[in-house]
Structure 1
Amino acid sequence: MKKLLPIAAIALLLLPTIGFGQSTTVKPGTYRAVLKTRGGDLPFGLDIKPAANDPKTYTVFALNGNERLPMDPATIEGDSLRIPMALFDSELVAKIEGNMLRGVFRRRRVALPSQTLPFEAQHGVTYRFTPAEESTRAVTTNLTGKWATDFGSKTGKVDTVNAVGVFDQKGSRLSGTFLTPTGDYRYLSGAVVGDSLFLSCFDGSHVYLFKAKHDPATKTLKGGLWAGIAGYEAWAARFDPKADLPDPAKLTYLKPGSKTLNASFPEPNGNIVSLSDARFKNKVTIVQIMGSWCPNCMDETNFMSPWYKKNKSRGIELVGLSFERSPEMAVSGPKIERMKQRFKIDYPVVLAGTNDKAQASKALPDLNAVVAFPTTIFIDKKGQVRHIHTGFSGPGTGKYYEQYIEEFNRLVDKLVAE
C-alpha cells in the first residue's frame, strides 16, 4: 500500500497549478489580432499598455490604417483580459496565454441573443494579412485611385454604382475606404498580394473583410465583403478616375410647404429641448441626426464637439438628435451620456427615437425621409432650413473629409454673415 502524503504537503504541491500568489498580466505592445469569420481571418491591430495607476487596467487602441481608436479601459478578470466597447454594446474577452490572447468577440443587440466570433491576437507580429505583404516582390499591380463600385453585384460586373472605392497603395500596403451616399466604410487597411486585394476594419461596431481579384486587362475588381457576424455580399469595381456619387444635398429635403424643422425631445436628464427654445432664436443652428451606436456619427461628433467650442461665441448653436436602438430612456440615456463624456460634448443631445429609419422619419415629419445616420441640417437665424447634408465623409476618406470641412465652414460663415 502506497504511503499517503499529508494534506498540507498536497496543498503545497498544488499551489503553482491553481495560481495562488501569481498575478496575471498582459504583455504590453502591439498585437496582430484576428476574428475568425466565414470569409477567413479578419485582421486588425491592437496596441495594449498598462494603465499608470492600476496594474490590472490597460489602455487599448484598435489600429486600422492611420487610425488609433481608443477602446474603453480593459481589465484583468481571472486569467482573461476584457476589452469593452460600451458605446457599441460589444467586447473582446480573451484568455492570456503568454504572447497570445485567445477568446471571443461578443456583440449584443436589443432583444436578441449575443453574437460571437472567435478571436485571437499575437504579440509583436506586424503584418496584417500575410507575411508576403512585407515584401514588394509579391506586388504585381497598383490599385491607387478611384473605383466605381457595385455592392451586391449579381453579375460580377459594375451594373450600378452605389459606392466609390478610394485606395492608396504604397508597395504592397493598401489603405483607403469606400464612399457611399450615406457615409463611408471608415478606415480600411490591408495589402495587395499578387493579383488580389485584401482589406479589413474592426472598430467595435464595424466588422469588415474585403477580398477581390484584380483583372489588369479590364481594370476591374471582383470579390466579396464579409460584414458583421455572418453577413456577406458580392461586389465588383472598375477603375474610374471620374467616379462620383449622387449629390448628398438632394437625398433628404423638406417636404413641400415646410420651411423649418419642428423638433422637441428630452435629454437624458429629462429636460425637453425644442428648436423653438430661446437659446436658438436669432442664431445659426446645426442639427445632427445621429446615434451613439454609429461610428460615422462618432467621426462627425469628433469634429463637431471641438468645432462648437471654438465657434459658439459667433452666434451658433448645435443640437444632437440621437436615434438609439431602444426608445427607453433608462436604456439609451446612459449611452448618450457616455457618448457626451467620451467626446466632451457640451451642446444638448436628446433621445429622438429609435434608429429604424422609417421611425426616425416619422419623428421628423418636416423631412421627406431620414436615409442616413448621420445627417446634418443647417438652419439660419430666421429658423429656416437652408441646407441638409446626408451622410458624412470621415477622416478615413482623406481629401474628401478635408473638402467637407471646407464646405461646412464656408456655409456656416455665410449664414453667420447674413
Structure 2
Amino acid sequence: MKYCFKIIASLFLLSALYACKGNTNYRLEEGIWRATLKTSSGAEIPFNFEVTDSAGQKVIDLINGEDQFRVNEISQHSDSVLIRMPLFDTEIHAKIKDKTLSGNWIKHMSDSDMVMPFEARHGESWRFFKVNSAQEAKLSGRWSVSFSTADHDLREAGIGEFEQKDGRLYGTFIRATGDHRFLEGTISDKKIYLSAFDGANAFLFTGKLLNDSTIVDGMFYSGFSLVQNWTAKKDDIAILPDAYSITALKDGFDKIDFSFPDLNGKKVSLSDSKFKNKVVLIQFFGSWCPNCMDET
C-alpha cells in the first residue's frame, strides 16, 4: 500500500511540473519593449524596440527618437530567440519567459567577439525613467563639446546638437570622424541622459547641467568597455576642425595609389589607363559602420 502511495505521489508531482511548464509563456509578444545592455563598468545602456507582425512574420523596429531600424531576421525554438541584425555582423541570443528576454548581444569583430549582457521586458515604453520630472532647463541648440580619455591625455573637439521636446531630449554628438547616430533620452534633476542602439553600436551619454550654458561631469560609454569624459558649452556657432587639416598623405607620398582584385578577381589599379585624366571618387568605409552606409 505504501509503495502504491509513493507511485501515485510521484505521478502527481510530475503532472504538476508538466502543468507548470505548459503554462510558461514563450511567445515573443507584439508591442513595445524596454531593453538594456550592460557595460563592463556596470552602466546600463537602455533602448526601446517594438515587435509587430508583418505578413505572418515577427519583425522588430529598434527605436531611437524619430529613427527606426527594422530587423526582420528573427528565429525562435522553444524558449530560445535569435535576433540577427541586417547589414551588421551582430546578433542577440536570448531566452524568453513570461514577457521577458535575457541573454547577450554579440558583436563579431575581426579578432574577437564583443559580448554584452542583454535584458528586455515587454510593455515598458519608458527609456531612463518611468516618469520624467518637469525641467526648466533649456538644452535645445548647438553646443561646443570637449571629449577626453579618463587620464585626460587625449582630447577631441566635438559638437552637440540637442532638441528638447515634452520632457524628452533628442540629438547627437558630432566629431570629425562622424556622429553618434540618433540619441534619445531625458533630463532629470539637472542630469542629462541620452542613449542609442542601432544594431551596430550601443551608446550612453550622461552629464550634469551646471547652468543653461554649461554641462560638466559628462561620461560617454560605447560598447562593452570604452569610456570617455566630456564637457560642453552652449555655442550657436560651434564648428569642427577643418577636415583637410586632419587628413593628409604620409611623408614620402604625393598621391594615393593602390591595386586590388575586383569582385570578378580582375586586378584594378588607380593607375589604370581607364582612369587617366578623369576625376576618380574613392570612398573608404566599413560595412559595419552605420554612418558609412548612410553615406553610400
TM-score by length of 2: 0.84
Contact 1:153 1:236 in 2 (8 A): no
Contact 2:52 2:59 in 1 (8 A): yes
TM-superposed deviation, 1:244: 0.9
Aligned-partner Cα distance in 2 for 1:150–1:204: 27
Tell whether 2:172 aligns with 1:177: yes
- Gap change, CA 1:295 and 1:19, over 3 Å in 2: same
Partner of 1:131: 130
The 5-angstrom pairing of residues 334-349 of structure 1 reads: none
Among 16, 24, 32, which residue is 1:30 paired with? Answer: 32
What letter matches 1:128 in structure 2? Answer: R
- Gap change, CA 1:153 and 1:253, over 3 Å in 2: closer
Partner of 1:143: 139
Aligned-partner Cα distance in 2 for 1:28–1:217: 41
Deviations 1:27-74 (A, max 9, x none): 1122111113335321111122244255xxx32221111211123511
What letter matches 1:36 in structure 2? Answer: K
The 5-angstrom pairing of residues 357-396 of structure 1 reads: none
What letter matches 1:46 in structure 2? Answer: F
What letter matches 2:162 in structure 1? Answer: F
Range 177-186 or range 257-266, more displaced: 257-266
Contact 2:38 2:118 in 1 (8 A): yes
Aligned-partner Cα distance in 1 for 2:53–2:265: 38
Aligned-partner Cα distance in 2 for 1:31–1:278: 56
Contact 2:215 2:232 in 1 (8 A): yes
Aligned-partner Cα distance in 1 for 2:34–2:182: 17
- Considering only aligned residues, what root-mean-square deviation do their CA atoms show, in Å? 3.3
What letter matches 1:30 in structure 2? Answer: I
Aligned-partner Cα distance in 1 for 2:104–2:83: 11
Aligned-partner Cα distance in 1 for 2:235–2:150: 20
Partner of 2:291: 296
Aligned-partner Cα distance in 2 for 1:2–1:176: 71
For the residue of structure 1 that corresponds to 2:265, the secondary structure is coil
Tell whether 2:189 aligns with 1:194: yes
What letter matches 2:207 in structure 1? Answer: A
Partner of 1:89: 89
Partner of 1:43: 46
- Gap change, CA 1:253 and 1:232, over 3 Å in 2: closer
Partner of 1:164: 159
What letter matches 1:35 in structure 2? Answer: L
Aligned-partner Cα distance in 2 for 1:255–1:232: 30
- Gap change, CA 1:103 and 1:42, over 3 Å in 2: same
Partner of 2:240: 245
Aligned-partner Cα distance in 2 for 1:208–1:70: 19
What letter matches 2:258 in structure 1? Answer: A
Contact 1:140 1:195 in 2 (8 A): no
Identity, % of aligned positions: 35
TM-superposed deviation, 1:225: 1.1
What stretches of structure 2 of length at least 5 have no aligned partner?
A: none
Aligned-partner Cα distance in 1 for 2:174–2:192: 17
What stretches of structure 1 of length at least 5 have no aligned partner?
A: 302-418
What letter matches 2:32 in structure 1? Answer: T
Aligned-partner Cα distance in 1 for 2:9–2:130: 54
Number of paired residues? 291
Deviations 1:311-367 (A, max 9, x none): xxxxxxxxxxxxxxxxxxxxxxxxxxxxxxxxxxxxxxxxxxxxxxxxxxxxxxxxx
- Gap change, CA 1:23 and 1:145, over 3 Å in 2: closer
- Gap change, CA 1:210 and 1:260, over 3 Å in 2: same
Deviations 1:282-318 (A, max 9, x none): 65432210111222212212xxxxxxxxxxxxxxxxx
- Gap change, CA 1:50 and 1:269, over 3 Å in 2: farther
